[in-house]
Amino acid sequence: MKDHGLIPASPAEEDYALAVARGEGVALVAEGEPIALFEKWLEDANKAEKDLANAMALATVDADGLPDCRMVLLKGVDSRGFTFYTNSESAKGEQLAANPKAALCFHWVQLGRQVRARGSVETVSAEEADAYFATRAHSAQIGAWASDQSRTVEGPRVLERRIAEAGVKFGLRKVPRPPHWSGYRLLPVSIEFWRERPFRLHQRLLFERRGEGWATRRLFP
């Protein structure tokens, strides 16, 4: 079995596709564990996509219940969920503080695949945030101090001046994590895997959290 005009399916995915066709859900894939399947798809995407295979759309809602969406980068995934980092005083940070629920969507064009996840959101520990911030480029660390993300900037040169000021303040020494900068982890209650197939007969496989495990079901395309 091969994707129509896309990258051929791997042997493991042949088993996956056949299991879906036979109505066996994902029992043959990672023992019904969607995070393991996601990690496999992300590994494939890192090989197939031109760049930023970890880019994902993040949807939140504001105080009026109006949806908001933007692209962010996935910086970690494990059995707990999907982790990203941002300014906690940004629009998304304030929205998550007021309503800690969100949705994510990955779209890998070259593979013809999507993954969607929904769930509650928690703030990562200070230790996790510190550890990740320390891996960022020095210029990005300086930028985190200089930018009041999502707020009005008074003039075209303000950001450049603030970057220069922060650069002078910290020099080349270690830059500490700003108190307003942290990470968030989406704790999924549902994860859907979508795979493009010929004639719009796409495969959709939905994992839904059931206690400590997952229930699976197939969806019409």
- Complete domains list, the chain, with CATH: 11-128+185-219 (2.30.110.10), 135-176 (no CATH)
Nearest in space to 150 (alpha carbons), one of 84, 55, 209, 86? 86
Integer Cα distance of 46 and 53 in angstroms: 5
Beta-strand pair 181-195/67-73: unpaired
Question: What local confidence, expressed as pLDDT, does residue 100 receive?
Answer: 98
Question: What local confidence, expressed as pLDDT, does residue 32 receive?
Answer: 66
Answer positive or negative: Cα dihedral of 66, 69, 74, 78.
positive
Question: What local confidence, expressed as pLDDT, does residue 33 receive?
Answer: 86
Question: What local confidence, expressed as pLDDT, does residue 27 receive?
Answer: 37
Which residues of the chain have a pLDDT value below 70? 1-32
Rg of the chain's alpha carbons, rounded to an integer?
A: 20
